[in-house]
Amino acid sequence: MQRLGAARWVAIAGIAVLVAAVLVLVWAALQHANPESAAGEAEPVPTFTLGVQTQTPTPTPTENSVTLEQTRFLAIGSEIWWRATAGSCSGVPPLVERSSDQGKTWSDVTPAYLGITQVQTLEAFSARDAELVAAMAGCEPQALRTYTRGEFWDSYPDVLAASRYIDPRDPGSVRLPSGPVPAPCPTAFGLHAFGDVIALVCDQRAWSWSGKEWVALAPEGALAVSVDTPDILVAHLSPDCAGVAVSRVVPASPAAATVIGCAEGTDAGAAVAIDTAGDEIVVSTGDAFSAVGP
């Protein structure tokens, strides 16, 4: 019995030693997983991602890398909408299209049979008729009009003489009825003119012609312009708009811009064109269209 009792105490002591050893190991593991910071404060609890990776949203682009030949034009008549891609005298040919269902479908009406090589301006001068200034063979500018919804186009020298457009041979020069004037930068694009108002885009700024000089307009990050007499509409980048923002500028107050709205989700990195359709402003980005309220 004494021998059995001694064995029992030895077993109990051994278990106690094992328990103590386990406790020491657990304490050491906890210290390793949660060491104290230098200031004696607890470190943040680690976080883990299980299976799903989140993507950072694509930021609004800070500039537009569209080339001159990719420049877009949009002209909206009450019956027919018109659009064009500029093209180049020495490269990609231009494209002129018309739509009779408010931009849902488009028909190619490019006057290729006349030898058109580049579009400089596009305007809807009536509900269903349009005119454009375009470069022809040799990059020579002509004014073309259609009275047949784009089926046929004819040259009108008197219209060209009264037109305002960027020289197709030199994007740093603007042709006015009174003669050429230097553009505000070497690569101006997207000129629109109506009445006495002339606007274009240069170095991510919209500019208007005062009659004597070019005046920079607010805001910065300009992508396209249009004339809504007597004001100028500017499509532009904005940190407050995940797409293309549109502002209205009065030429007499060029530093002040009134934000009209944001075309959410539009691609501000694509070629942009704008025009008015009734009380709305239509923003064209690539082949997509969005309306911005007044």
- Residue scoring higher pLDDT (37 or 54): 37
Total residue count of the chain as it appears in this document: 294
Q: Compare 40 and 86 and report the one with higher pLDDT.
A: 86
- Residue 33's pLDDT is 41
Closest CA to 22 of 7, 97, 14, 254: 14
Looking at per-residue pLDDT, the higher value among 195 and 57 belongs to: 195
pLDDT of residue 214: 98
pLDDT at 52: 27
CATH fold for the domain made of 68-292 = Neuraminidase (2.120.10)
pTM recorded for the entire structure:
0.78
Which pLDDT score is estimated for 286?
83
Query: At 47, is the pLDDT very low, low, confident or very high (cuts 50, 70, 90)?
Result: very low
User: What are 150-178's pLDDT values in tens digits?
Assistant: 999 999 999 999 999 999 999 999 999 99
Give the model confidence (pLDDT) of 66-101 as tens digits: 899 999 999 999 999 999 999 999 989 999 999 999
Higher pLDDT, 66 or 24: 66
* pLDDT the model gives residue 64: 56
48-68 pLDDT tens trace:
222 222 233 333 444 557 899
Mind listing the pLDDT tens digit for each residue in 121-142?
A: 999 999 999 999 999 999 999 9
Domain ranges across the chain: 68-292
Residue 109 has pLDDT above 70, yes or no: yes
Question: Quick one: pLDDT at residue 168?
Answer: 96
Sign of CA dihedral 139, 145, 148, 152: negative
DSSP string, 72-101: EEEEE-SS-EEEEE---TTSSPPEEEEESS
Whether 247 and 226 have beta carbons less than 8 Å apart is answered as no
CA 96 to chain centre: 21
Q: Which residue has the tokens 């090589």?
A: 117
Indicate whether 277 pLDDT > 50.
yes
Q: What is the pLDDT of residue 293?
A: 82
Per-residue pLDDT tens over the stretch 243-264: 999 999 999 999 999 999 999 9
